[in-house]
Amino acid sequence: MKEMILASLKASLHTKEKSVLTHTDDLLAATENIRQSLVAGGKLLIFGNGGSAADAQHIAAEFVNRFLKERRPLAAMALTTDTSVITSIGNDYHFDQIFQKQVEALGRIGDIAVGISTSGNSPNVVLAMETARKMGLFTIGFTGRGGAIATLSDILFTVPSDVTARIQETHITLAHILCELVEERMFGGVGAAAQP
């Protein structure tokens, strides 16, 4: 069992390191796009299924509340949390549309859609990303090796693994780095009263 623990840790660390090093420039580009959107009054719309739904909520909370710095709240929302909206769309239309309709309702030019799918092929994430692109939103995708969202993402974060757990662990690591970079770019070393 101890060997299993160490093997899991090593696999996680290796996957994270490879992905982060591959996407260093993408992290910087995403940081600047997020900063520009938030400064201009835009927001992040974040969505995914299962563990990725939890990740969407986790990431939104880091922006709205705080990550490392005491600063003003930043506009981000997970489209995975309103059960009345989600179940009404799933019941009246189709589960594939649960994020698409929310993007249509809430998205505005200047906003950023963040789609999370370990396979890259979740139909409801793909449809929401397609809609976001058609509406003129900037799109950021988090996936495993690619999938359908690859061609729908202005910036795509891939993870070199076929193991869902390793992909999800790496997604959160990448997202935490983004949160830290955005805070640094917007607020530097200044306290809660800082403005961009």
191 pLDDT more than 50: no
Q: Does the annotation flag 52 for ligand binding? A: no
CATH number assigned to the domain comprising residue 141: 3.40.50.10490
Q: Does the annotation flag 131 for ligand binding? A: no
Place of tokens 């955005």: 182
3-state secondary structure of 111: strand
Q: What is the mean pLDDT of the chain?
A: 95
Q: Does the annotation flag 65 for ligand binding? A: no
Q: Does the annotation flag 92 for ligand binding? A: yes
Q: What is the pLDDT of residues 95-141, one digit of tens each?
A: 999 999 999 999 999 999 999 999 999 999 999 999 999 999 999 99
Q: Does the annotation flag 168 for ligand binding? A: yes
Structural domain count, the chain: 1
> What are the residues facing 114 on neighbouring strands?
46, 140
3-state secondary structure of 100: helix
Q: Does the annotation flag 91 for ligand binding? A: yes
The percentage of residues in the chain with a pLDDT greater than 90, rounded to a whole number, is 94
User: What number is the average pLDDT over the span 5-30?
Assistant: 97
Residue 195 in any domain: the answer is: no
Q: Does the annotation flag 26 for ligand binding? A: no
192 pLDDT more than 70: no
Residue 138 in any domain: the answer is: yes
- Please state, in angstroms and rounded to a whole number, the distance separating the CA atoms of residues 77 and 61: 8
Distance from chain centroid for Cα 87: 22
Residue 141 in any domain: the answer is: yes
3-state secondary structure of 8: helix
Residue 46 in any domain: the answer is: yes
Q: Which domain holds residue 30?
A: 2-187
Residue 61 in any domain: the answer is: yes
Q: Does the annotation flag 117 for ligand binding? A: yes
Residue 90 in any domain: the answer is: yes
Give the predicted TM-score (pTM) of the model: 0.93
Q: Does the annotation flag 161 for ligand binding? A: no
Place of tokens 């058609």: 134
Q: Does the annotation flag 8 for ligand binding? A: no
Q: Does the annotation flag 19 for ligand binding? A: no
195 pLDDT more than 60: no
Residue 163 in any domain: the answer is: yes
Residue 132 in any domain: the answer is: yes
User: What number is the average pLDDT over the span 139-163?
Assistant: 97
The predicted structure's pLDDT at residue 196: 44
